[in-house]
Structure 1
Amino acid sequence: MTDPTVTDPTASDPTERLLTNARVVLADRVIERGWVAIARGRVVAVGDGAAPEKGDDLGGDLLLPGLVELHTDHIEAHYVPRPKVYWNPAAAVVSYDGQIATSGITTVLDSLRVWREESAEAVDGQATTLAAAISTARDAGLLRIDHLLHLRCEVPMPDVVDEARSLVDRPDVRLISLMDHTPGQRQFRDEEKLRIYYRGKAGGLTDAELDVMFARRIALQAAHAGDNYRALVDLARARDVPLASHDDTTLDHVAEAVRDGIAIAEFPTTMEAAMALHAAGVRVMMGAPNLVRGGSHSGNVATADLAAAGVLDILSSDYVPSSLLGAALLLPELVPGLDLATAVRTASKTPAEAVGLTDRGEIAPGKRADLIQVRWVDGIAAVRRVWSAGRRVA
């Protein structure tokens, strides 16, 4: 069945294109000087050397598959640009879409937080509003790239199951993540790191105020997390939506993920957990900002270390859209023996396959013509042009 939320390549610009004189990054190798032919929104041919006829000369730039982003909540920064300042939600989506496209991402799973809490968070329980705004912008033809949904479910929150249930039957839902940010465990085993996070994000909560927040979260976890976790797993299974775990830290977390058929492990915090997850066939996702910055802002395991250990499967831009491309191109320079094609797969083919999008994520005949022209100079990636299903969008 055709997914109505995904661009139909046959409806894209039918103009045939021949992109020449490029370093073409395929899924398994790099053509140092090659060409790609596009027609009806698909790649129809890929060649090595001089093109068969005159085309659009890319001047030796990289030609990569459009990137596939599975976890970014950056849409919230456009909807609430300052604390308590709410933008028109559809206009926020269009602005966000432009930033995502010009970062080289042609398919994005917009990560919407599916819970409500009396807290310092700027966006709280706005998944329904933002999901509707994405549909409005899509239906009006205002979006450049494909937008799908990732429901970020904070399992200790009392209403999270009802809210997830209200959204899960949308045709654009492609991933559900099971998160638990209770102080003292997973990402924030070091409670002081969480205090630093909220002091910065919330504009200066006092320690006394944080004490109240943390006590409330601990109580909510004790009261609701177990039942909500099982209900969300059952909901995802019933709808055949892939599941992601979040911030796995211990081997007990790994065992739980494997037991429940988790497909993707988002941001494991320790080498031990990441290696066990990867060995069990769970795809390990890590933050691109972690790699670009040289380490985790929370003091957890470094993305580069997991790549060097051979257990990094997927990169995510998380909170900085441009970091996805930069990290993919930086990986071969940081990890001996890791080639460019393998690095680019972590931001294209592998994430696409992880959520069932087998028509994209690589440059190959028959695949969608989601392509990006990139100039890489001294560790800086500049996106020159972007095509989504063969249509120039940036």
Structure 2
Amino acid sequence: MTALSLTLTGAQVLLPEDGLVPADLSLADGIIQTDRAGRQIDLSGFLVLPGIIDLHGDGFERHIAPRRGAMKQMDEGILSVEAELAANGITTAVLAQFHSWEGGVRGPEFADQVFGAIASVKDRIVTDLMPQLRFETHMLDDYTDLPERIAGWQVPYVVFNDHLPHDRLAEGRKPPRLTGQALKAGRNPDAHFEMLLSMHARRDEVPAALDTLCAALDTQRVRMGSHDDATAQIRADWRARGAQISEFPETLEAAEAARAAGDYIILGSPNVVRGGSHKGNVSALDLITMGYCDALASDYHYPSPRRAALMVAKSGLVDFAGAWALVSSGPARVLGLQDRGALAPGQRADLVILDAETHRVVATLAGGRVSYMSGDIAARFVG
């Protein structure tokens, strides 16, 4: 597919050194150019910003499994995911897929289908989609062949979760919603409960198994992170295994420990938009204020990264450039993507165009190709 050759004029452009200023921006061959290229497009009344890089999102689940058993053409679901991503200004997206005892759309078999579908649509989409595996740490029987499966899935990023309700299991009590969860996984509720109890009983085996697994993934150059760190010690344990990304730390203590050690901290955009965590965890806004945030991720809601960055800028916590960096250059740095995240010559032509007054997304370009365009701005490009 051919990338556009254009020079965008008249807009406010977010540049690495100058901030948001009136400037021309040229693109050709999929990258930002130093010299003028192609025909000129007047974008007066618009903002041109680096495309959003979403480090972690599972909002795609509703596209690939709108109802249990309803979606048979998985690749069609991934194509509809891309449409939503692009409409929200996202040019690079990490799709966070579970490998979990929870079963259903979070089960190992479903993960295999999702990763296969992502690979199958690569040549048909504009947005850069990256698969992430979210592995439940107490699935000890799955450890042996997991590195080989991750390599086969071409997964470059693994995050570790533990969603077992340990407190209840320690008391021998059934967790809430167990029956519905079991039925979604296709299990008898009693058998599901016994499985949870068995995994809980083997919890002391998990640390050593993780040490071995993480060492293997490190040799495969897989990027690793932890999820919902609650204490400084938990963060230190993950760091020792090579997991240097802390996704959504639950406490100030964990975030402080991550920052002190130079680990990356990812926070949830919905936490910012809502004004706090829906689970009562530490406020993302508070952590941003203290400098404990490298990137904001969509988590479960794709419109939130744009909204969160704009809210942070409006609040005055950081300037506009610093706020937008949380969804562009910051995530690029976390993922080691040196070719994107800023509108600078030689970088990928990944950009989102916002209405300067409403801040609504009107167009998104990834690698110099249009992934989304809506409304009157289309006439400026095609007229």
TM-score (norm 1): 0.83
What are the ranges of 5 or more consecutive residues in structure 2 without an aligned counterpart?
168-174, 373-383
Amino acid at match of 1:128: D
Question: Corresponding residue for 1:374?
Answer: 354
Q: Give yes or no for contact 1:155–1:224 (8 Å, CA) kept in 2.
A: no
Q: Which moved more, 1:294-303 or 1:169-178?
A: 169-178
Question: Corresponding residue for 1:253?
Answer: 234
Amino acid at match of 2:321: A
Q: Give yes or no for contact 1:263–1:354 (8 Å, CA) kept in 2.
A: no
Q: Which moved more, 1:243-252 or 1:150-159?
A: 150-159
Deviation at 1:32, TM superposition (A): 2.5
The answer to whether 1:66 aligns with 2:69 is no
Change in CA separation of 1:231 and 1:64 when aligned onto 2, cut-off 3 Å:
same
Deviation at 1:360, TM superposition (A): 0.6
Within 5 Å, give how 1:36-55 maps onto structure 2: 36-45=25-34, 55=40
Question: Corresponding residue for 1:280?
Answer: 261
**1:298-343 Cα distance to aligned partner (Å, 9 max, x none):** 1101110101111111100011011111111111223x34011111
Q: Give yes or no for contact 1:289–1:320 (8 Å, CA) kept in 2.
A: yes
**1:247-303 Cα distance to aligned partner (Å, 9 max, x none):** 111111122133223221000000111011012101110000111111111110111
Within 5 Å, give how 1:171-182 maps onto structure 2: 172-182=154-164
Q: Which moved more, 1:85-94 or 1:363-372?
A: 85-94
Question: Corresponding residue for 1:309?
Answer: 290
Q: Give yes or no for contact 1:89–1:129 (8 Å, CA) kept in 2.
A: yes
Change in CA separation of 1:393 and 1:253 when aligned onto 2, cut-off 3 Å:
same
Change in CA separation of 1:178 and 1:167 when aligned onto 2, cut-off 3 Å:
same
Amino acid at match of 1:32: V
- Return the alpha-carbon distance in structure 2 between the equivalents of residues 217 and 195 of structure 1: 18
Within 5 Å, give how 1:12-51 maps onto structure 2: 12-13=2-3, 15-45=4-34
Amino acid at match of 2:44: G
The answer to whether 1:114 aligns with 2:132 is no
**1:59-93 Cα distance to aligned partner (Å, 9 max, x none):** 23221111111211222211111244334111111
Question: Corresponding residue for 2:143?
Answer: 161
Percent identity of paired positions between Structure 1 and Structure 2: 29
SS in 1 for 2:360: strand
Change in CA separation of 1:358 and 1:198 when aligned onto 2, cut-off 3 Å:
farther
Deviation at 1:53, TM superposition (A): 10
**How many residues of Structure 1 are paired with residues of Structure 2 in the alignment?**
361
Question: Corresponding residue for 2:62?
Answer: 77
Amino acid at match of 2:207: G
- Return the alpha-carbon distance in structure 1 between the equivalents of residues 182 and 192 of structure 2: 16
Q: Which moved more, 1:310-319 or 1:78-87?
A: 78-87
The answer to whether 1:124 aligns with 2:124 is no
Deviation at 1:217, TM superposition (A): 7.0
Deviation at 1:369, TM superposition (A): 0.3
SS in 1 for 2:124: coil
Amino acid at match of 1:182: L
**1:126-167 Cα distance to aligned partner (Å, 9 max, x none):** 1111111111112xx321211111111111113442463243
Question: Corresponding residue for 2:342?
Answer: 362
- Return the alpha-carbon distance in structure 1 between the equivalents of residues 266 and 257 of structure 2: 13
- Return the alpha-carbon distance in structure 2 between the equivalents of residues 352 and 240 of structure 1: 17
SS in 1 for 2:203: helix
SS in 2 for 1:99: helix
Amino acid at match of 2:220: R
Deviation at 1:25, TM superposition (A): 1.4
**1:188-239 Cα distance to aligned partner (Å, 9 max, x none):** xxxxxx8489989989xxxx98993795376265165224322331122110
